[in-house]
């Protein structure tokens, strides 16, 4: 699998140091707030798992899964809920945990959906941000790394459901996805 990686962009050690740093910020900001951590499946589960192990506060966890692709490799901008929240977030502090902010479409839709449920607050923690591909304004309150416009895998991010288990973030060799269209542009 590592032979499919063109370049390691962010090492395992760099990721773990950043997760610890983000957790410290979240611990300060959410002390006594008992946040609901909302992981965006499938890519954010590794980041969420590591992040919550560093949190020294009471919190609950829930997950959402959205699809904007169908059978295409680029976002249609039309979202379908695959898995919705099971927890009511009304009057609660919500922290959305996202793997990557790319076009911003998924995050924008998710924020609108969560805000409609009347939480006390909503913030976003994202491991990666790819601002060069933004189609709509979107930003993280807690950000790991800003990355260039490259198709990345590892640490939860995938291509064709592979590479999620890599402990680093790597740039996938273009020949791996050649012939399958361009790499996905929001959900990886």
Q: Which of 29, 62, 84, 102 is catalytic?
A: 102
- Contact indicator for 93, 125 with CB cutoff of 8 Å: no
Domains observed in the chain: 13-150 (3.40.50.2020)
**Is 149 assigned a catalytic role?**
no
Name the token pair of 4: 């499919």
> What is the Cβ-side half-sphere exposure of residue 55, based on CA atoms within 13 angstroms?
23
> What is the Cβ-side half-sphere exposure of residue 179, based on CA atoms within 13 angstroms?
3
pLDDT (tens place) for every residue of the chain, 188 residues total: 789 999 999 999 999 999 999 999 999 999 999 999 999 999 999 999 999 999 999 999 999 997 655 444 445 566 777 899 999 999 999 999 999 999 898 899 999 999 999 999 999 999 999 999 999 999 999 999 999 999 999 999 999 899 999 999 999 999 998 866 555 543 33
Looking at 41-79, which runs of residues are DSSP E strands? 60-67
Helices 45-53, 12-29: inter-axial angle, 10-degree rounding? 60
């Amino acid at each position: 699998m590592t032979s499919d990686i063109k370049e390691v962009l962010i090492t395992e050690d760099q990721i773990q140091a950043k997760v610890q740093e983000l957790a410290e910020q979240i611990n300060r900001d959410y002390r006594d707030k008992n946040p609901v951590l909302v992981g965006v499946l499938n890519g954010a589960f590794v980041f969420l798992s590591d992040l919550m192990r560093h949190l020294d506060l009471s919190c609950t966890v829930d997950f959402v899964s959205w699809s904007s692709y169908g059978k295409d490799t680029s976002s249609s901008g039309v979202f379908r809920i695959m898995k919705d929240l099971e927890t009511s977030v009304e009057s609660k502090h919500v922290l959305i945990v996202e793997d990557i902010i790319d076009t911003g479409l998924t995050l924008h839709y998710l924020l609108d959906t969560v805000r409609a449920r009347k939480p006390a607050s909503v913030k976003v923690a994202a491991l990666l941000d790819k601002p060069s591909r933004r189609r709509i304004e979107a930003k993280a309150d807690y950000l790991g790394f800003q990355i260039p416009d490259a198709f990345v895998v590892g640490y939860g991010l995938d291509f064709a459901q592979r590479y999620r288990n890599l402990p680093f973030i790597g740039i996938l060799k273009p020949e791996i996805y050649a012939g399958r269209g361009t790499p996905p542009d929001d959900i990886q």
